[in-house]
Amino acid sequence: MGRLRYLDNADLGPDHQEIPRMKSNITRAVAHSPDLARLVAGRGMYFRHKSKLEPRLRELAILQVGWSTRSAYEWAHHVDVALSFGVSEADIHAIGQVARGEATHLDPLALAVLEAARSLTEDIALAQGVFDALAAALSADQLVDLLVAIGEYNGLVRVMAAIEIDLEPEYEAFLARFPLPDAA
């Protein structure tokens, strides 16, 4: 059990019955601050449904955050999301291949996205060459959406770790199918 009780809609006042994603444990924990929960879930929905950034690139970036931080919750949830947006199993497996220094099928832009997410997650910095590669391939709004998504999910994995969010049982199969590396 996580460090905070997972709330349900019945636990919330009438003004907070419309929080998106109240079935996920992270939202149910953050719902202790219901206005914030609505904002956090809303930002996720923006990235998923309104951003002009290609969904494959968005999900590769988020998956890289989950991989780099060994966040089982983030990884499993976004493997599911990625597959639903048409990201291939080969793309998902390529994250580990890149981390091990192996060659992959990924194009230069996808590799730059992974490098940006890895660098911002592990080093909190972005090399000029990686920024330039992204800026050359993406519009300014897509680039901003990518960088903010990386930052957003880096923040969320840290909140999940602090609260010790439990992975819902229906997502455990994704960890078996796409295992995270052991902690370094």
DSSP 25-53: HHHHHHTTSHHHHHHHHHHHHHHHHT--S
Share of the chain above pLDDT 70, in %: 99
Cα gap 160→138, rounded to integer Å: 30
Helices (H) and strands (E) in the chain, counts: 9, 0
Report the alpha-carbon angle 87-64-4, nearest 5: 105
> Which phi-psi region, left, alpha or beta, contains residue 101 (left: φ > 0; alpha: ψ -120 to 50)?
left
pLDDT band for position 183 (cuts 50, 70, 90)? low
Domains located in the chain, CATH noted: 16-50 (no CATH), 53-177 (1.20.1290.10)
- For residue 184, pLDDT over 60 is answered with no
What's the DSSP call for residue 61? H
As a whole number of angstroms, the distance between CA 149 and CA 58 comes to: 8
**What sign results for the dihedral spanned by CA atoms 72, 73, 74, 80?**
positive
pLDDT in tens, 147-167: 999 999 999 999 999 999 999
Of residues 79 and 183, more confidently modeled? 79
Q: Is the pLDDT of residue 37 over 80?
A: yes
Stretch 69-77: mean pLDDT: 97
